[in-house]
Amino acid sequence: MNPMKPYAPYALSLFLSLIVMTGFGQANNPKPKQFSSFPDVINCSEQEISKVFTASAGENISLSFSNNFIFSGTVKSNLSKYTNLQSAIIVSPDYYNTIFNVSKIINADGSISYVGHIINKNFFDGFDLKKNALGIYQLKKTESDRVIPDCNL
């Protein structure tokens, strides 16, 4: 009787497991960062964000936020699907056709809230537009892959 024979299936399983783990551990062409020169948090004024919702589709717009971050591009759409929700999309050629998708929400009490994302599927980083605990709107750096799922399965 061969003393190695009982261990052969275990050795083969271990070997195949290592091959599979090695394959999943390798990065598939890591995406470059396009906003690495900007801070992780950029403050935004409500007045600047509100400019988006007075622009028409096809119009060029330039939004100037703090930390010298300017997002300029063409309004691709600006729609009010519901009475309390208006959404706009701006595409910026300055940032390799990065998209700024922003929504204006009219709350039950009449106050206005804004949410949005600056994303590009070809880059690793982007920004989420959110209001902080002090009520200040901020663009917070995020990983775009968390916002845009990879559908190459």
- Whether the per-residue pLDDT at 148 is higher than 70: the answer is no
- Whether the per-residue pLDDT at 5 is higher than 80: the answer is no
Sequence-distant (6+) residues with CB within 8 A of 11 are: none
Note whether 114 and 46 are within 8 A (CB).
yes
Q: What secondary structure does DSSP assign to the chain, as a single string?
A: --TTGGGHHHHHHHHHHHHHHHHHHS-SSPPPPS-TTS-SEEEE-HHHHHGGGGPPTT-EEEEEETTTEEEEEEEEEEEEEETTEEEEEEEEGGGTSEEEEEEEEE-TTS-EEEEEEEE-TTSSEEEEEEE-TTS-EEEEEEEHHHHS-----
pLDDT at 3: 54
Average pLDDT of every residue of the chain: 85
Mean pLDDT, residues 115-137 taken together: 96
Report the distance separating Cα 16 and Cα 72, nearest Å.
51
Q: What is the pLDDT of residues 62-97, one digit of tens each?
A: 999 987 999 999 999 999 989 999 999 999 999 999
- Give the residue, 97 or 10, on which the prediction is more confident: 97
- Whether the per-residue pLDDT at 17 is higher than 80: the answer is no
In 3D space, the residue among 41, 71, 46 whose CA is nearest the CA of residue 138 turns out to be: 41
pLDDT at 9: 53
pLDDT at 81: 86
Token pair, residue 93, equals 């050629």
